[in-house]
Amino acid sequence: MANCPSCGRPVAVVRATCFYCGAPLPPEDVEAGDVSPSPGPSPEGGGRTLVVLDLAGVDIAALAQALDRPFFEAGLVARRDGFHLHRILEPAAAGAEAARLAACGVTTLLLPEAEARIRPVRALGGKRGDGSLVLRTEEGPAEVHRGDLLLVVRGPIAREYQPAAKRRRVDTTHLEEGYRVHLHRRHEPQPVEIDAATFERGVSATGSARLEIDAWAEEVRGGAPCDDGFRRLSPALGPAEPEPKGALAAASSLGRAARGQGSGHDEGPVVLDNAAQFRFYSGWRAAVERRRVTGRGVTP
């Protein structure tokens, strides 16, 4: 078991990246091959605090000193020119770390972890109007209008089958990359999640699910920022959750049944994805944005 140098969480080091934030783990820890189990993310988030770096205009020399990294590595971090999840610590330790970073000249934000663990509302389908979206979600109808949004977060979802020691047949099916968009509203803590694979959007003008979902988001985005930095993180895979109930999900289930998966004693291979990683990234980015517009939680 080792600690991720980026977010500080203990992780099993059979993987080369942190399960929680996607940061590379130290090579010496990865090579150790510790197979101790790593706990999954807590849905409630616990009482810990996220320490987030504001990289806008950061001085590379100051960042190198603060992170205790070579100048070149600090420059690579600074090139992201946005926000960077640094550590997840107990509140007292997070406050001390923020003070240390501030003394080095690095601006930080402190966020309760629970705010990054708010579960999204999954959209099943809807209609797109002029500056508005009328959506059907798992929790009922929802409307989003231009000017309602605080932030849009979008990113690719990696998908693959879980490796198994024994195979009854050779798996040749390639799982296509997924794509999700979170619409963070100003006055609602839960974001609306649109999964391009299961969202019923009617007739597509573009012929591309991804382009169509982006067009829906642009319809209501207005002046809200759009973050697509998730694509730069190394995928941290975990078991995919069941698809939401809807016509597209039903069609997907029928397709699996036709291939002999999901029926009888043969449940087929387990699908892995990094949707949980995307939700965590989206959650802390939205928490940052809420504080950025209010000025709360910033340590200059």
Same domain, 164 and 50: no
Rounded average pLDDT over 221-235: 94
For the cut 60, the answer to whether the pLDDT of residue 68 exceeds it is yes
pLDDT value of residue 268 = 63
Same domain, 182 and 44: no
Rounded average pLDDT over 218-235: 94
Among 61, 93, 116, the domain-final residue is: 116
Q: Which of the two residues, 80 and 262, has the higher pLDDT score? A: 80
CATH of the domain at 11: 3.30.1390
Answer yes or no: is 71 within a domain: yes
Same domain, 107 and 126: no
The phi, psi pair for 75, rounded to 5°, reads -65, -40
Of 284, 275, 150, 163, the C-alpha closest to 217 is: 150
Query: How confident is residue 173, by pLDDT bands cut at 50, 70 and 90?
Result: low
Rounded average pLDDT over 235-251: 76
DSSP H or E stretch at residue 110: strand 107-112
What is the secondary structure of 19-33 as a DSSP string?
TTT-PBPPHHHHHHT
Among 69, 95, 116, the domain-final residue is: 116
Domain assignment of residue 8, given as a range? 2-116
pLDDT value of residue 168 = 53
Query: What gap in Å lies between CA 204 and CA 207, rounded to an integer?
Result: 5
Answer yes or no: is 300 within a domain: no
Q: Which of the two residues, 8 and 226, has the higher pLDDT score? A: 226
Same domain, 17 and 166: no
Beta bridge partners of 49: 89, 112
Answer yes or no: is 299 within a domain: no
Same domain, 194 and 282: yes
For the cut 50, the answer to whether the pLDDT of residue 34 exceeds it is no
Same domain, 90 and 222: no
Structure tokens at 41: 């993310």
Number of domains in the chain: 2
Same domain, 139 and 252: yes
pLDDT digits (tens, 9 = 90+) for 185-209: 999 999 999 999 999 976 666 668 8
Answer yes or no: is 177 within a domain: yes
Structure tokens at 204: 């597509």
Same domain, 126 and 226: yes
Among 80, 98, 116, the domain-final residue is: 116
